[in-house]
Structure 1
Amino acid sequence: MMHDGALAVAYAIIRRYASLRVWLPLDRSRVENIMTSSEHSSSESNANVGGAKADAAQASGAKTAHTQPSSTHTASASSRPAGTESEPRDNARIASVESLDKGNEMERGLTNRHVQFIAIGGTIGTGLFLGSGKSIALTGPSIVLVYIAVGAIMFLLMRAIGEMMYRDPSQHTFINFIDRYLGRGWGRFAGWSYWIVLVLIGMTEITAVSTYFVTFFRTFGIELGAWKWLIELCFLAALTTINLIAVKAFGEAEFWFSMIKITLIVAMIVTAVVMVVIHYHYPSVHIPGSDGVSPAGHAGFDNLWNGFSFAPNGWLAFLMSFQMVFFAYEMIEFVGVTVSETQNPRKVLPKAINEIIMRVLIFYVGALLAIMVIVPWRSFKPNADGSFASPFIMVFRYAGLDWAAALVFFVVITAASSALNSLLYSAGRHLYQLAVDSPSPQLNKLGVVSSRRVPARAILVSAALILLSPIINAFPKMSSAFVLFASASSAVIIFIYILTMIAHERYRRSPDFIADGFLMPAYRFTDALAIAFFVFVYVTLFLAADTRGPAIAGLVWLLVFGGYCLLHERYQNRDLQEALQ
């Protein structure tokens, strides 16, 4: 039997070892769980030393939760495993949301209406309004098939996230499942990498908001270029305030942002249908954002197949279109982050995810087809600076709406604001979770919620880093380096998606799996298919000069930071075993 004195000495040694760690320290929760298990074993009658050691060794090897580092924090992600080791795989009942929510400090203030429109907003970004012209020019009508293919893969990603979130809807982020099923090393890599990616993308979005805002007023002859820094500050302050008020305020903002985007897309599709039905002939017009004058033509389905070629600019260009479309769908997984703050999540989440395919068909495929039946796809030509005019502006101008440019740029401002709003929300939740799980007392201070039950400190820190964008843009050398890091961050997202699919496969083979959940169909095949596709997209990044650098930088980040996290976990586990002997 392990004596209390020996147990106290071992525990003191481990606690002292843990206190020496500052960055990625020894997992104190794992130690405490082991010691609790050992104390229980020592109190049982007829227990022997060998049995106690075996129990401790088994506990140290198991995937355990991370207890809350201080009394002011209630851990949510890793502190509540989705199931216990003794839970049978064919368990007919799933744990209630209420029982899982005992440690969830945040408010379930998002309704079904909020989540549905948040999901729509996450599907529709500025790329559809401004970037689709380049993808059409690159691939022609075949771009529709690319959007469908990539949308189907992203749907599989969402089903994987949805199944795990359905199992444990108290999680603040899907990254926790990487931690749970792939180990602390990969979990830390994914957690910190994802938060950094969110901040970097947020910096690019705030720059985009100010650029579109200046362009919008320029259509009315008002020049605001000198005030871009103030515009960025005002937009960021407004969106940060919305996120600090309450999660319901965030949901309402996203609802109206999404409504504006949907209205423009539907209006454009209806306009295109009317023009096709009446076989509308339009004159040559100047398109704002274009260097020249677009030729006269007519609306009709023959614009789709006249001169059709599956890969009109070669197969390399066709392959490159996959990465462009992939990044247009980037952050579609955001709706999964809202689960811990959603009312009745097990009813709302499956509905929101299952409707992704319909949204892709309507908002992407429908919009692209509407554009190409009005504007012949060979009419999309790059400007001198390599940019393309907005297809939405082209359609409305051909319809005789001279104010089309102002309308589209207003909606683009809305889309960029929606993206920034979502990034602030997501970055705040991810930093909060990192702080809650961290053994560092300094970082723990960010793992608290305000009286309004939002992670205010984590949101403010994320917003402050995003606010560095105007400062960086003021210095050309810093700006060039930032562009590289921001581009590399998009490449890192692919690694996180791959880890998510692997975590889902591990979940299906773990004791946590329940057969009556929101199941991914044919998970062995679909998980492998999604992983293969993400690898394919990453490989395509090496095919062009402008994406090769970010792809290499992303690999360096994986090898250096990922390697560090894995090695640290390995040595941490070794030291833990030695301390227990």
Structure 2
Amino acid sequence: MSNQENGMHRGLKNRHIQMIALGGAIGTGLFYGSAATIELAGPAITFSYLIGGLVIFFIMRMLGEMAVDEPVSGSFSHFAYKYWGEFPGFLSGWNYWFNYIVVSMAELTAVGIYINFWFPDIPHWLTALVCLVLVTLLNLISVGTFGEFEFWFAIVKVVAIIGMIVFGLFLIFSGINGEATGFDNLWIHGGFIPNGMIGILFSLVPVMFSFGGIELIGITAGEADNPQKSIPKAINQVMWRILIFYVGALSVLMVLYPWNQVGADGSPFVMIFSKIGIPAAATLLNIVVLTAALSVYNSGVYSNGRMLYSLAMQGNAPKLFAKLNKRGIPVAGVLVSSGITLVGVILNFLLPGKIFTYLMAVAIIAAVITWTTIIIVNLKFRKAKIAQGEGDALHFKTPLHPYTNYFCAAFLVMIVILMAFTESMKMAVLVLPIWLLILWISFKIKKSRESK
């Protein structure tokens, strides 16, 4: 069934798709979560993002290969269901929904932290609640409105990062009072790789949180006006842009200020410009990082509604979620997802200042499940296409298939092992088998009801 036939509107243009992808990946992971990466890797943080970016690029090409061939709403959940089996489709869909629920909670938490830069007495939970209501209402208007807002949210981030890089380079080579900053900060505080290769390895964990959300490109395929053109262009262009923004911006920060004095009380971007005596730049960047958090949360609300819609169309969620309003919006999915995200508001009330790290760990685990599913399903998808004699007809093939699949799978296994040896993230690894068991039991209950 086409998306036009079932009511889903193809209202997202190529510029929307590209900026949605940027919006999903350039957010709190970069502007706030990078503090944890800097602490582990020091100036070598650039290596960490290059490695993580390469892995994510390959995974995105795997998803893109399938999304271009079959542009449907729900993306990899649909492919898992079709090419792997009922339970993988059930698991991948509900896990991705859960992943973005947790990411949404993390973004709302970050919004509170950013607001405290100006208004330290406003509690995080209150800021989170206001943002939740406003963004939910925005997503109930139309998909075109969502795309337009996300486009401009992303434009603000991109322009700001480029401006920060240019301004940072000016400070490096000329200085505020005519005295150049120089590059000494890259090595005088324990060396370029102060914590050795172990530090770089462990830094890959928060790095992967930074890249979480870029798979949203695949979710948008069902509402893209020309998916065969826009999806490949978005994947190929967005990845190198993100690497430039991440690596370029963080390289400038590492040169401007000692890495071991950054701290984690706010965004490293804001803190550094504030500490080197440029409050105007710090204030402007805080506006940008606030916009970034709202952008990712906006993408989360959009994604969750569409994933519940896809699950309902498969029969893996209540039929209520398969209903669209006249504007093609899955209202029930959007409202229920936002309602559950209220848990994040409650957590911010109960554990102010502590919840972000825990949410990040759970989000990484959920993202690893999603990415692993994409890797395995892509292998099965390609095998099915070859068996049908359509292997050579694919328009957007994964480079070096299937070796890149095996490489990325091994990398994700390593990420989970590293998390098991990280005190603040160990609990998320222990929760992993429990979460998979819950999904398995839920699937069995669903099947037993269908057989009656």
Name the CA shift for 1:190/1:372 in 2 (closer, same or farther; >3 Å): same
Larger deviation, residues 198-207 vs 176-185: 198-207
Residues 226-305 of structure 1: pairs in structure 2 closer than 5 A: 228-278=124-174, 299-305=181-187
CA distance in 1, matches of 2:46, 2:356: 32
Aligned: 1:171 with 2:73: yes
Name the CA shift for 1:489/1:401 in 2 (closer, same or farther; >3 Å): closer
What is the CA distance between 1:130 and its match in structure 2?
A: 2.5
Residues 480-559 of structure 1: pairs in structure 2 closer than 5 A: 487-511=361-385, 513-516=390-393, 517-558=395-436
CA distance in 1, matches of 2:242, 2:90: 32
CA distance in 1, matches of 2:46, 2:358: 29
Q: Give the count of matched residue pairs.
A: 448
CA distance in 1, matches of 2:220, 2:20: 9
What is the CA distance between 1:146 and its match in structure 2?
A: 1.0
What is the CA distance between 1:136 and its match in structure 2?
A: 2.2
Deviations 1:223-281 (A, max 9, x none): 433xx555333322221121111101001111111111112211211111112232556
Aligned: 1:444 with 2:319: yes
CA distance in 2, matches of 1:235, 1:534: 33
What is the CA distance between 1:208 and its match in structure 2?
A: 2.6
Match of 1:187 among 80, 86, 89: 89
Partner of 2:44: 142
The structure whose Rg is larger is 1
Residues 92-111 of structure 1: pairs in structure 2 closer than 5 A: 100-101=2-3, 103-111=5-13
Structure 2: give runs of 5+ residues left out of the alignment.
none
What is the CA distance between 1:110 and its match in structure 2?
A: 0.9
Partner of 1:466: 341
Name the CA shift for 1:333/1:122 in 2 (closer, same or farther; >3 Å): same
Partner of 2:214: 332
CA distance in 2, matches of 1:485, 1:268: 28
What is the CA distance between 1:354 and its match in structure 2?
A: 0.3
CA distance in 1, matches of 2:422, 2:172: 37
Match of 1:160 among 42, 48, 62: 62
Name the CA shift for 1:129/1:203 in 2 (closer, same or farther; >3 Å): closer
2:209 and 2:363 in contact (8 A); partners too? no
**What SS is found at the alignment partner of 1:357?**
helix
Name the CA shift for 1:569/1:545 in 2 (closer, same or farther; >3 Å): same
Match of 1:127 among 29, 33, 50: 29
2:58 and 2:399 in contact (8 A); partners too? no
Name the CA shift for 1:436/1:240 in 2 (closer, same or farther; >3 Å): same
Larger deviation, residues 511-520 vs 305-314: 305-314
CA distance in 1, matches of 2:74, 2:319: 16
Partner of 2:438: 561
Name the CA shift for 1:572/1:321 in 2 (closer, same or farther; >3 Å): same
CA distance in 1, matches of 2:301, 2:4: 26
Name the CA shift for 1:548/1:103 in 2 (closer, same or farther; >3 Å): same
**What SS is found at the alignment partner of 2:50?**
helix
2:101 and 2:341 in contact (8 A); partners too? yes
Normalising by structure 2, report the TM-score: 0.90
Between the aligned residues of both structures, percent identity stands at: 35
Deviations 1:282-322 (A, max 9, x none): 9xxxxxxxxxxxxxx95123432446646422443332101
Partner of 1:60: none
Which of the pair is proportionally richer in helix? Answer: 2
Paired amino acid for 1:407: L
What is the CA distance between 1:159 and its match in structure 2?
A: 0.5
Structure 1: give runs of 5+ residues left out of the alignment.
1-75, 77-99, 283-296, 577-581
Aligned: 1:117 with 2:19: yes
Paired amino acid for 1:253: F
1:190 and 1:496 in contact (8 A); partners too? yes
**What SS is found at the alignment partner of 1:172?**
coil
Name the CA shift for 1:207/1:273 in 2 (closer, same or farther; >3 Å): closer
Deviations 1:70-91 (A, max 9, x none): xxxxxx5xxxxxxxxxxxxxxx
CA distance in 2, matches of 1:167, 1:495: 23
What is the CA distance between 1:374 and its match in structure 2?
A: 1.6
Partner of 1:286: none
2:21 and 2:217 in contact (8 A); partners too? yes
Partner of 1:377: 259
Name the CA shift for 1:341/1:497 in 2 (closer, same or farther; >3 Å): same
Aligned: 1:360 with 2:258: no
What is the CA distance between 1:360 and its match in structure 2?
A: 2.7
1:155 and 1:356 in contact (8 A); partners too? no
Name the CA shift for 1:365/1:487 in 2 (closer, same or farther; >3 Å): closer
Paired amino acid for 1:266: I
Root-mean-square deviation (CA, aligned residues, Å) is 3.0
1:396 and 1:404 in contact (8 A); partners too? yes
2:181 and 2:256 in contact (8 A); partners too? yes
Deviations 1:194-215 (A, max 9, x none): 2122223222322332332243
Partner of 2:198: 316
Normalising by structure 1, report the TM-score: 0.71
Name the CA shift for 1:315/1:334 in 2 (closer, same or farther; >3 Å): same
1:129 and 1:391 in contact (8 A); partners too? yes
Name the CA shift for 1:391/1:485 in 2 (closer, same or farther; >3 Å): closer
What is the CA distance between 1:353 and its match in structure 2?
A: 0.1
1:323 and 1:537 in contact (8 A); partners too? yes
Name the CA shift for 1:480/1:183 in 2 (closer, same or farther; >3 Å): farther
Paired amino acid for 1:234: V
What is the CA distance between 1:325 and its match in structure 2?
A: 0.7
Name the CA shift for 1:102/1:269 in 2 (closer, same or farther; >3 Å): closer
Paired amino acid for 2:376: I
Name the CA shift for 1:189/1:309 in 2 (closer, same or farther; >3 Å): same
CA distance in 2, matches of 1:388, 1:475: 19
Name the CA shift for 1:215/1:151 in 2 (closer, same or farther; >3 Å): same
Deviations 1:131-162 (A, max 9, x none): 32332232122211110010010011110111
Larger RCO: 1 or 2 (CA < 8 Å, sep 6+): 2
What is the CA distance between 1:526 and its match in structure 2?
A: 0.7
1:216 and 1:410 in contact (8 A); partners too? no
CA distance in 2, matches of 1:340, 1:431: 14
Paired amino acid for 1:361: L
Name the CA shift for 1:302/1:309 in 2 (closer, same or farther; >3 Å): closer
1:429 and 1:458 in contact (8 A); partners too? yes
Aligned: 1:408 with 2:318: no
